[in-house]
């Protein structure tokens, strides 16, 4: 019976066995999504516990990016009417990190809309990180685009915990989503990040018209990287982008994806990221009980989200801790 097989596979993951590719493909197609979700939650609680990791993002340089990612409101190629600013003043970013700490976030992630950080701006980001370390005392993560090995080492030396660089979608879908760089460019930065001992965070966006098989492809590609953290967004179609009219993905497909990510990566932080308030009626409660154990609070790069007060209440309501 299907539910017995899902339970058996969950037991095997809890026992330390890796899910075979054929089993991951089978899990991605099960009819009983409820049982899949329950067993993914069981793995989460047994392997990583009942703590939900809460992070805040700082969009430290907004919009006017040279790349053409079709989902992204920050590409200079699309007329999305969002505001634009260059690298924000140091004190603004340090204050945002302090606010994140006050809100109860365990980490603050500096995100910049660049293909790669220009050298002068990279130096400023390093100074800002030093200042956050000295005056705020919150874990710092970064997402600054493609990195050289030297830049990755600088971030490691500044005690940055994790570097985020998303694969965005399945390799087989990527050319439809972006033409200004390749999937392997992204993999290469993840290899550089890993080579210097920085924590790796990678993931993507679902709901961009990919098939379920392509979501499996993305999940297995991420698992092969063996990241500390997986961050998975759900598309919020942004006016002015090529995906502005993209049809919504079903909630059951979102739950299915997060559950399979948990089966594939039982020890990872699996973060439910942008789009949850838009795509999920419960803003994430169900997904935090289907494999995810982390969220972003207080909004995203170009869209708003639930407040930290609402999110902390949500986490308590489902019997978990932040």
Regarding 27 and contact with ligand SF4 (CB under 6 A), the answer is: no
Angstrom distance (rounded) from CA 293 to CA 236: 21
Residue 299 Cβ vs ligand SF4, minimum distance, rounded to whole Å = 16
Residue 13 Cβ vs ligand SF4, minimum distance, rounded to whole Å = 32
**Contact between 291 and 261 (Cβ < 8 Å):** yes
Helix (H, G, I), strand (E, B) or coil at 134: helix
* From 48-56, 72-80, 125-133, 267-275, span contacting ligand SF4 (CB under 6 A): 72-80
Binder to ligand SF4 among 10, 57, 65, 177 (CB under 6 A)?
65
Residue 235 Cβ vs ligand SF4, minimum distance, rounded to whole Å = 12
Residue 205 Cβ vs ligand SF4, minimum distance, rounded to whole Å = 9
State the CB neighbour count (10 A cutoff) for residue 15.
Answer: 8
Please spell the DSSP secondary structure of 208-222, one letter per residue: SS--HHHHHHHHHHH
Q: CA of 81: how far to CAs of 43, 64, 162, 180, in Å?
A: 43, 11, 31, 22
Size of the site for ligand SF4 (CB under 6 A): 8
Regarding 69 and contact with ligand SF4 (CB under 6 A), the answer is: yes
Residue 33 Cβ vs ligand SF4, minimum distance, rounded to whole Å = 29
Helix (H, G, I), strand (E, B) or coil at 203: strand
Helix (H, G, I), strand (E, B) or coil at 60: strand
Angstrom distance (rounded) from CA 156 to CA 162: 9
Between 186 and 215, CB nearer to ligand SF4: 186
Binder to ligand SF4 among 14, 33, 42, 67 (CB under 6 A)?
67
Angstrom distance (rounded) from CA 154 to CA 287: 35
Binder to ligand SF4 among 44, 74, 202, 289 (CB under 6 A)?
74
Binder to ligand SF4 among 24, 40, 60, 72 (CB under 6 A)?
72
User: By rule CB under 6 A, what string of x and - marks binding of each residue 104-123 to ligand SF4?
Assistant: ---------x-x--------
Between 65 and 260, CB nearer to ligand SF4: 65
Using DSSP bridges, classify how beta strands 199-206 and 53-61 pair: parallel, antiparallel or unpaired.
unpaired
Residue 266 Cβ vs ligand SF4, minimum distance, rounded to whole Å = 29
Q: CA of 122: how far to CAs of 94, 97, 198, 237, 271, in Å?
A: 16, 18, 17, 30, 26
Residue 115 Cβ vs ligand SF4, minimum distance, rounded to whole Å = 6
Q: What is the crossing angle of helices 21-28 and 251-264, to 10°?
A: 160
Which residues of the chain form contacts with ligand SF4 (CB under 6 A)?
A: 65, 67, 69, 72, 74-75, 113, 115
């Amino acid at each position: 019976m299907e539910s017995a097989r899902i339970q058996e596979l969950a037991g095997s993951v809890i026992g330390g066995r890796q899910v075979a590719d054929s089993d991951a493909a089978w899990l991605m197609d099960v009819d009983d999504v409820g049982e899949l979700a329950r067993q993914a939650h069981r793995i989460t609680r047994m392997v990583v516990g009942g703590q939900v990791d809460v992070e805040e993002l700082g969009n430290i340089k907004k919009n006017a990016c040279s790349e053409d990612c079709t989902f992204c409101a920050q590409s200079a190629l699309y007329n999305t009417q969002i505001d634009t600013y260059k690298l924000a003043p140091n004190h603004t970013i340090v204050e945002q990190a302090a606010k994140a700490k006050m809100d109860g976030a365990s980490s603050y992630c500096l995100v910049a809309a660049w293909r790669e950080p220009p050298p002068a701006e990279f130096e400023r980001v390093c100074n800002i990180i030093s200042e956050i370390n000295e005056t705020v005392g919150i874990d710092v993560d970064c997402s600054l685009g493609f990195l050289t090995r030297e830049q990755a080492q600088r971030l490691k030396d500044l005690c940055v915990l994790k570097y985020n660089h998303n694969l965005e979608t399945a390799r087989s879908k990527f050319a439809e989503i972006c033409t200004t760089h390749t999937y392997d460019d992204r993999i290469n930065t993840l290899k550089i990040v890993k080579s210097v001992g920085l924590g790796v965070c990678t993931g993507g966006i679902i709901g961009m018209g990919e098939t379920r098989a392509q979501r499996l492809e993305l999940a297995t590609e991420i698992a092969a990287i063996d990241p500390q953290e997986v961050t998975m967004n759900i598309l919020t179609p942004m006016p002015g982008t090529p995906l502005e009219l993209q049809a919504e993905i079903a909630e059951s497909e979102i739950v299915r994806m997060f559950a399979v990510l948990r089966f594939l990566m039982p020890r990872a932080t699996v973060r439910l990221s942008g789009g949850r308030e838009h795509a999920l009626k419960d803003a994430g409660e169900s997904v935090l009980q289907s494999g995810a154990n982390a969220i972003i609070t207080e909004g995203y790069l170009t869209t708003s989200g639930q407040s930290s007060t609402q999110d902390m209440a949500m986490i308590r309501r489902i019997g978990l801790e932040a």
